[in-house]
Each structure stands twice: as C-alpha cells, then as structure tokens.
Amino acid sequence: MGITIQQELEQIKQRGLYRSTRMIDGTQGPHVEMDGRDMLMLCSNNYLGLADSPALIRAAVEATERYGTSSAASRLVSGTMALHEHLEREVAAFKQCQAALIFNSGYAANTGVIAALVGRGDVIFSDRLNHASIIDGALLSSARLIRYPHNDVRALEALMKKHRGSGRTLIVTDAVFSMDGDMAPLRELVELKEEYKALLLVDDAHGSGVLGEGGCGTAELLGVATKVDILMGTFGKALGSFGAYVALSAELRDLLVNRARSFIFSTSLPPAVLGASLAALKIVRSPEGASLREKLRGNAELFRALLVGSGFSLPEGTTQIIPVLVGAVQTTMRFSEMLLGEGIFVQGIRPPTVPAGACRLRCTVMASHTQQDLEWAAERICVVGKQLGVI
Ligand SMILES: *Cc1c(COP(=O)(O)O)cnc(C)c1O
C-alpha cells in the first residue's frame, strides 16, 4: 500500500526540501514585480535580456498572424511548417554544422536524443554533475550508465578503458554546468571520444548565445565547434524564447527523426515560438548580440569580484552563473528568504539538484543589469551572509 500522499509531502517538508512556485507579474526583466513589489531578478536564465525584447515580441506576433497558433501535430504527421525548416537552416548555419533538428525543449531533446543513440548493450559516460534531463535520458535508454567524477578526464579515461565493450559508447556532458557555472574540458573530451571512437553529446543550454566570439557557445570558445558530434542548445534561456535544437550531421539527424521518441510523439513547436527563436538568433549573430555578450561578461566579472571581495567562496569559473556556496539546507533557504525581504529574488538550490551539503544560492547575472543593481545586490548579500554566519 505504501505511505499516503500526505505523508510523503510531510516527509519532503521535514527534510527542508519542499518546493513551491513563486509568481511574478509582468515580463522577465532585470527587475520583476512580486506581490506588488519591485524585486531585483538574480536567478533568471534570460542572460541577454531578450525575453521582453520588442524584436522577439514582434516576430512572435507576426508569425502567429501569418501561420496561426498551433502546429497541430507531430512533425512526422502534419506538423512540419516552413518555420521549422527555416529555423533549422539558420541553426545549422550558425553552428556551421551539416544539419539541425528542433526539439520542444531541452528536456525533450536530451531524453529523446540519448535514448535514440544508445540502448541495451551500449555504455553512457556522464559527468556526475550533468543536468537531470541527461540522467533521465540515460535511464530511458536502458544503456549502462557510468557517471564519472566532475570534469575529471583522467578518471573518465580509466573508466572507458575498463568498460570497453562491443556496443556504442556515448560521452555526455553539460558544456557550462548549470548549478556550478564552470565549463567542461571539451578539448580533452574530443580527444578521448576520437581515441575511443565514442559519440560526444554536449549540452550547451547555458553557453549558447553567450560564449564564444560569435555567441556560438562553449565549443566555439574552446575551439572545438566542429568536433562535437551532437551539440545541443536551448532557445529558452539566453535566446529569450523556448525550445531546443541539436546541431549534427545529416546522417545523425536522419536517425533522430526516425528514433527520437520526444520528436516523433509530440506536437511540434508553434509558430509564435519559432518566430521568436528566429528573431533571437538574428540578434545573437549581430553586432547587438556581441555587445550584449560583452555587457554580460563585464557584469559577471563585476559581480564575482564583489562577492569574493566580501569574503564569499565561489567555485572556480568565469560565466554568468555564480553560485554562492552555503552548505546546509536550512541556512540556504533562510538566506534566500531574507534576500526576498531585501528585494532580491535568488533561489536556494537543494538536493536533488545539487549533492547534500552543497546547497547554494545560484545567482545569475544578466546583460540588462546595471552596475548599480549588482553593487547594491552584492552589498545586501554580504549583510545577510554576515547575519547568517556564512561569511
Ligand atoms: C535548462 C536545461 C535543460 C533543459 O532545457 P529546457 O529547454 O528548459 O527544457 C537541459 N540541460 C541543461 C544543462 C539545462 O540547464
């Protein structure tokens, strides 16, 4: 019979792991309205500030007026519209890949792609800190899942030697780790995958649009843009829209069209979303995109320096994801609550998102934050951090 739903909820609460949603009024800007109050937004993935961009809004409206509100079916039934193929051509050109395939979300991409590429008898090597959608994809695939210590290429190689098998081998990693903000050693992973004839899937949900000269992402920044077999990115974070893509060879695309269940069995993205994504890509690839990236880099540098200067210990990194390590669940959630009281919205991150004892505030800066926003936030975080004995 098992425990009741009520008992299960009680258990979650007792462990300090109870989650609920918080409502925001208005758009996802650098400031948001919460319960009628102005709050500084410090936990959004809207890194370039495009989520309320007039160009994206106009593109979404125009796409809707021209093509309607729904795609009405899976791409393989009647749901492939001109905009889907247009967006795929643009993504492939942007990533300098043969082909691209659009998925309904990053979650759908990872679960669909991994389970399509490997199955029983195959092996997946996955970084210990990879996103939940990668783990879910691995579990769905029925392939053997071997998790390697975070960013430890030597340990990975030892594991690959030990588990050399007859089936396919897939290495999968976040490019920028979503809760830590550090980058995967993509150059070394490319060498390994070449030596062991493995496939390499890189999830660049947090680097696309943000990193590299052209905003192409982490692989561009690290000089391996053309060496990754499957480069996944999302439209819902820096690109201010929704959905995801994989950039890959025409052959791999063909396989996914035939095998990826989240592609096959789900209604495709609607015109409004595709229109907004096309407009976002255009901005990312323009001089405006380059200047937004520069602003974001400057903001990340400033905020990291301010926090370190106040005595916080930050994990190594340079990106816009800036985790303030706290440790215990209760202190972390209290920290977040007290900052809400100050007018700063930043989430405490707990298990299972991060390992027990590694709770943190996950601060993210945006290109649209002002220097004054960040100086003020760092000062308030410092005051609350002292009150809680974190620093
Ligand atoms: C957010 C995220 C995803 C999921 O993407 P959605 O489009 O939000 O479903 C996948 N991987 C990583 C690393 C992410 O941070």
Per-domain boundaries in the chain: 21-47+287-387, 54-284
Q: Is 133 in the pocket of ligand 1 (CB under 6 A)?
A: yes
Q: Is 178 in the pocket of ligand 1 (CB under 6 A)?
A: yes
In angstroms, rounded to a whole number, what is the distance separating the alpha carbons of residues 308 and 95? Answer: 35
What is the position in ligand 1's atom list of the atom closest to the CA of 242? 7
Nearest CA to ligand 1 atom 10: 106
DSSP 132-167: HHHHHHHHHHTSEEEEE-TT-HHHHHHHHHHT--SS
Looking at domain 21-47+287-387, its CATH class is alpha beta
Q: Is 238 in the pocket of ligand 1 (CB under 6 A)?
A: no
Tell me if the domain spanning 54-284 has CATH number 3.40.640.10.
yes
* Domain 54-284 in the same topology as domain 21-47+287-387: no
pLDDT at residue 211, as a whole number:
98
Residue 3 scores a pLDDT above 80:
yes
pLDDT at residue 313, as a whole number:
87
206 assigned to active site:
yes
pLDDT digits (tens, 9 = 90+) for 113-157: 999 999 999 999 999 999 999 999 999 999 999 999 999 999 999
Rounded to the nearest angstrom, the distance between the alpha carbon of 119 and the centre of ligand 1 is: 22
Instruction: Assign 326 a pLDDT band (cuts: 50, 70, 90).
Output: very high
Asked if 364 contacts 320 with a C-beta cutoff of 8 angstroms, the reply is yes
Rounded to the nearest angstrom, the distance between the alpha carbon of 310 and the centre of ligand 1 is: 31
Tell me the percentage of the chain whose pLDDT exceeds 90.
98
Asked if 45 contacts 237 with a C-beta cutoff of 8 angstroms, the reply is yes
CA dihedral 30, 34, 38, 44 (to 10 degrees): -20
Pocket test for ligand 1, best of 43, 103, 203, 320 (most atoms within 8 A of CB): 203
Rounded to the nearest angstrom, the distance between the alpha carbon of 234 and the centre of ligand 1 is: 7
163 assigned to active site:
no
Q: Is 131 in the pocket of ligand 1 (CB under 6 A)?
A: yes
Task: Give, as one character, the DSSP assignment of residue 270.
Answer: P
Q: Across residues 302-327, what is the average pLDDT?
A: 96
Q: Across residues 378-385, what is the average pLDDT?
A: 98
Q: Is 350 in the pocket of ligand 1 (CB under 6 A)?
A: no
pLDDT at residue 187, as a whole number:
98
Rounded to the nearest angstrom, the distance between the alpha carbon of 24 and the centre of ligand 1 is: 21
pLDDT digits (tens, 9 = 90+) for 151-184: 999 999 999 999 988 899 999 999 999 999 999 9
Nearest CA to ligand 1 atom 6: 106
Q: Order across the sheet with 230-234: list the strands.
A: 99-103, 244-248, 230-234, 199-203, 169-174, 123-127, 144-148
What is the position in ligand 1's atom list of the atom closest to the CA of 234? 7
Tell me the C-alpha to C-alpha distance, in Å, between residue 150 and each of 126, 171, 182, 247, 332. 9, 13, 10, 25, 23
**Which pairs with CB-CB distance under 8 Å and at least 24 residues apart come from 353-358?**
353/132, 353/179, 354/179, 357/327, 357/328, 358/325, 358/327
Task: Give, as one character, the DSSP assignment of residue 268.
Answer: P
In angstroms, rounded to a whole number, what is the distance separating the alpha carbons of residues 216 and 390? Answer: 37
Rounded to the nearest angstrom, the distance between the alpha carbon of 210 and the centre of ligand 1 is: 15
Asked if 321 contacts 178 with a C-beta cutoff of 8 angstroms, the reply is yes
Rounded to the nearest angstrom, the distance between the alpha carbon of 243 and the centre of ligand 1 is: 9
Q: Is 127 in the pocket of ligand 1 (CB under 6 A)?
A: no
Say if pTM beats, i.e. exceeds, 0.85.
yes
Question: Could you say which of 131, 193, 206, 295 is catalytic?
Answer: 206
